[in-house]
Amino acid sequence: MRVGGALLRYRIMAFVTGTLLVVLVFVAVPLDWWADQHGPVAVIGTAHGFLFMVYLVTALDLGVRRRWPLVKLGLVMIAGTIPFASFVAEHYVTREIRASTQP
Name the pTM for this structure: 0.91
Residues sharing a CB contact under 8 Å with residue 51, sequence separation 6 or more, in sequence order = 13, 16, 17, 20
pLDDT digits (tens, 9 = 90+) for 25-60: 999 999 999 999 999 999 999 999 999 999 999 999
Q: What does the pLDDT read at residue 103?
A: 66
pLDDT for residue 10 is more than 70:
yes
Amino acid at 57: V
pLDDT digits (tens, 9 = 90+) for 46-103: 999 999 999 999 999 999 999 999 999 999 999 989 999 999 999 999 999 999 877 6
3-state secondary structure 24-48: HHHHHHHHHHHCCCCHHHHHHHHHH
